Amino acid sequence: MVLEINNLSKTFVTKTKETAVFDSIDLSIDKGQFICLIGPSGCGKSTLLNIIAGLEKATEGEVLLDGKAVTAPGPDRIMMFQESALFPWLKVIDNVIFGLKISGMDKKEAYTIADRYLHMTHLSQFKNAYIHELSGGMRQRVALARCLSMDAEIMLMDEPFGALDSQTRLILQLELQKIWEATKKTIIFVTHSVEEAVLLSDKIVLMSVNPGGIKKIYDIDIPRPREVDSEAVVHKMSYVLKDLKEEVEKVAKAEFDTDWHL
């Protein structure tokens, strides 16, 4: 087991209010597993990811990485976000080597590593392009190459394909499946799309609201590569969607008029 989350709770306290996000989360993640977190908006998916990243402190409980408590960000974990936060004034290759150079690696070695991951994300011919010359999908592939080049054991991905159109998203999902199989990284991936979660993950963790926590964990043991329209994927999706709908409805009922229903 690489990551162990024990009795984790988070409450945000501001001057005016307290927000209890989740309580008593327990979760074990094995090395090389692909985990998807799903749940309604505001259930704490990003908060959980931030705590694992060491960017946010838990109110109670602990996250153990290879048995050691996580207290701060470290080279064993890397985050990738919906907006890729690339440097528009740098070329693709220089964006990818940026973190490697900061970590003190010599330039030649950094270029060799960057080339490897630009090849893996099919961007070799664009390595000297500037970010503003690229499509949204290509930008996320640069971000993915940058993320992979840091060689962290755990990749934390917060809706990385959330802003892309559905065709580009499908292509990136297929690419990520292949990359994950080739690199055997441990990936924790937040998504709003049940389809994406079933396509990619070994396990889906459905988070709930009021009370916040884990509602259910699904093992997705469909052989890979997975196709969106295969019977097994569609069947699993409908099963997970039913539970997710209940949670989404709960949130909407609290926010919308009382005569609202799905």
Ligand X SMILES: Nc1ncnc2c1ncn2[C@@H]1O[C@H](COP(=O)(O)OP(=O)(O)OP(=O)(O)O)[C@@H](O)[C@H]1O
Binding residues for ligand X (CB under 6 A)? 12, 14, 19, 21, 39, 41-47
| For ligand X, the closer CB: 159 or 202 | 159
Report the nearest approach of ligand X to the CB of residue 156 (Å): 12
* CA distances for 3 relative to 65, 105, 106, 154, 161, angstroms: 5, 28, 31, 9, 24
* 46 vs 173 by CB, closer to Mg ion: 46
Answer with the entry of Mg ion, ligand X, none that 44 interacts with (C-beta below 5 to 8 A by kind): ligand X
At 137, give phi and psi (nearest 5°).
-65, -40
- Put residue 7 in one of left, alpha, beta given phi > 0 → left and psi -120 to 50 → alpha: left
Residue 10 or 185: the one with the smaller Cβ distance to ligand X is: 10
Q: Which of 46, 50, 121, 208 binds Mg ion (CB under 5 A)?
A: 46
Largest CA distance in the chain: 64
Q: Which stretch binds Mg ion (CB under 5 A): 42-50, 80-88, 117-125, 148-156?
A: 42-50
Residue number with the shortest CB distance to Mg ion? 46
Torsion angle of C-alpha atoms 38, 41, 45, 46, degrees rounded to 10:
140
Task: Report the residue number, 94 or 212, with the smaller CB distance to Mg ion.
Answer: 212
CA–CA distance from 156 to each of 60, 84, 165 (Å)?
Answer: 21, 13, 22
* Residues engaged in binding Mg ion (CB under 5 A): 46
